[in-house]
Structure 1
């Protein structure tokens, strides 16, 4: 009776291809081969709770910023009742915003005339 082949199509008595070859470990900072394309950064979606914690604000303030501040990123609607913010867009917003001494972002504050 012939031995049953595994998922790799190799009989149990033989070694898998990954077991027979050794690869050099990739070293960080090593130059990429010519013609290689850099892998894209993982897209990170944040919930409203994570946005609230990030800026130390309430849920109402998050939605106020969405409605009133043209620079604050709009959420991505994944499904009815499910909105998420792209972390990259929030980082860009943070880089453009001027933070006060207390660390809170004054994006929704009203301008007071002297």
Structure 2
């Protein structure tokens, strides 16, 4: 596991948890990864990918205000 500054280990989470947290489907998540705007998964085995919990939280924090702003302008 990845270590962070305060000594806690970062959890690696499955796609299902990522989808639930960010409210996006698999296709949109992978499109954003291709565009370079969403954290890439880590390949933990040939058939398994996991995302950094901290990277997903940081992405949510970075885009939340932007998404809310777009929704309000419509």
Are 1:71 and 2:37 matched, yes or no? yes
Higher strand share: 2
Distance in 2 (CA, whole Å) between partners of 1:58 and 1:72 is 13
Aligned twin of 2:53? 87
Are 1:47 and 2:22 matched, yes or no? no
TM-score of the superposition, structure 2-length normalised? Answer: 0.71
Q: CA deviation at 1:71?
A: 2.9
The Cα RMSD (Å) is 2.3
Distance in 1 (CA, whole Å) between partners of 2:6 and 2:25 is 36
Residues 47, 100 of structure 1: CA spacing in aligned structure 2 closer, same or farther, 3 A cutoff? same
Equivalenced residue count is 65
Deviating runs (4+, > 6 A) in structure 1? none
Q: CA deviation at 1:48?
A: 0.5
Aligned twin of 1:59? 26
Distance in 1 (CA, whole Å) between partners of 2:16 and 2:27 is 11
